[in-house]
Amino acid sequence: MEAVQAKIDQALELCSHAQELWEEGDLDEALNNLDDAYSLILEVDHNTFSELSQQKEDVRYLISKRILEIYASRQIVVTGQYEAIPITMNDHVKAEIKQLTGPERKFFIQSLERASRYRPFIVQELKKAGLPEEISWLPLIESGYKLRALSSARALGLWQFIPSTGHKFGLSRNHYIDERMDPEKSTLAAIAYLKELHNLFGDWTTALASYNCGEGRVLKTIRRQKINYLDNFWDLYQNLPRETARYVPRFLATVHIVNNLEKYNIQLENPLSPIEYESFEVKKQVRLKDIATAIGADTQLLTQLNPELRHGLLPPETYFLKIPKEKTANFLSKIDNIKTTYSPPALYVYHRVKTGETMSSIAKKYKTSINAISRANTITKTHTIFAGKVLKIPSRQYDSNNDIAMAKKTDTLKSKKPISYKVIRGDNLWIIANRFSTTPRQIMLNNKLPNTTLHIGQTINIATSRQAESKRTTATYRVRSGDNPLLIAKRHNMSLNRLLSLNHLDKSSKIFPGQKLIIE
């Protein structure tokens, strides 16, 4: 029993030393010490001494928790090349290869043909970010490279962002636009998200699994593991949701196939070419079809270049419109003559028919007409309504409320004063907008930014309200043993970048127990 206790004590000493190494910034050596500690714990046979069972489990959990914390504390912004993704070949991957080259062969080839249009830009941005080029094939299993692909979970676009994650990484969404459908903007957002996931988990297979089902779900699965989960993604495989369990093998299978097209007798007959374009600032609200008619372009081509426009209609505020390069001269000469013939699309509320209600009573309730309700729901004289049926109602009241809301928003914007802000390492539009109580779209408009890309040292103008500034308060926090910037930021409901900015730190800066940090 003394020999067993000695192993537990030695494992605890290694944990303590790992903590010191971590505080000194030597993460690799800290992880090596924790790995050795875990090996010692695995040698402890708690069945021989049942009283040591709980002690062994406590130390095992401590080691696992510390490993997670170290991975979580790694910097989020890329400073060097990420390692390539290893293409594992096992039964799971082979099964997906068989599926993609068999029953799903047609889908796979069509996806490859669409990929030819978007991959040049994706690969270019991955190289800039230092990420593996293989990630450019991820949209194939996400969306088949379809810009308007929509999942049952409301994930949309090439990279399948749900609304909340898209907003977090700077993708705007309103009645007129949804930037999740823009291949370039969504690619930059996906790269930012993948960087964050890789630095959290430390390996690409686990990061990709998190991209599919969310980091929270993977962290929860890791917490329940009884083995050294961080050494091998496949240890997690069986405990992940079925869709995610297939997701990583499917991605690895895709990369293997595209590297061996001849082996699988795959030929591309109609690959799509990238469309060359130029962006122009448009300050009036017009329809794409009217622009296409004026400049002699195909409406479908304009829609492909501007897929984020949900209704083929430019928003009321300034918009950067993409025009085919060969039509740019024509556009510049005609844009001033294109009339704004826009009438707002119908806005609706939904009503479930109750017993005893008629079309007349419903129309009266919503201050509209029977004909308007009939047109909205394609109801003819031969149709009847019944209790339980859901009707789409054109609502004048809704329009009125919306006008009031827009007026309030305009008044708020007028009360804001512009300030200058210099971009620091780790910033993106969403982080800056959140910091100054504005929106990514508003920052882009104020600075006439053609896209969401920012550069360190870049100066941008931000309209921030005095009220928002006056509410911003700060306090101090004394660093404790085991703390890292990410944990401190989460504990105080701050973003990591905001914490670093307040304390004039960057991602490589070290913090020490006893150090005072400014928090909000």
Structure token pair of residue 443: 């920052």
* Element containing residue 419 per DSSP (H, E): strand 417-422
Rounded (to 5) percent helix, strand, coil in the chain:
55, 10, 35
Structure token pair of residue 100: 């993609």
Catalytic residue (choose from 23, 134, 142, 184): 142
| Cα–Cα distance, 273 to 288 (Å, whole number) | 22
| Cα–Cα distance, 246 to 235 (Å, whole number) | 14
**First-to-last CA distance in the chain?**
50
> What is 433-501 written as a DSSP string?
HHHTT--HHHHHHHHT-SSS---TT-EEEEEE-HHHHHH---EEEE--TT--HHHHHHHTT--HHHHHH
Beta bridge mates, 475: 519
At residue 317, the 3 state secondary structure works out as coil
Selection from 132, 117, 119, 5 nearest residue 56 by Cα: 5
At residue 83, the 3 state secondary structure works out as coil
Alpha helices in 171-275 (DSSP H): 183-201, 204-213, 215-224, 242-258
Q: Which DSSP state fits 287?
A: B
Contact call for residues 165 and 423 (beta carbons, < 8 A): no
Buried b (16+ CB within 10 A) or exposed e, 361-371: ebbeebebeee
Q: How many CB atoms lie within 10 A of CB 452?
A: 24
Torsion angle (degrees, nearest 10) of CA 460, 461, 463, 465:
80
Give the length of the chain. Answer: 520
Tell me if residue 69 is catalytic: no
Beta-carbon contacts of residue 477 (< 8 Å; ≥ 6 apart): 488, 492, 516, 517, 518, 519
Residues designated as active site? 142
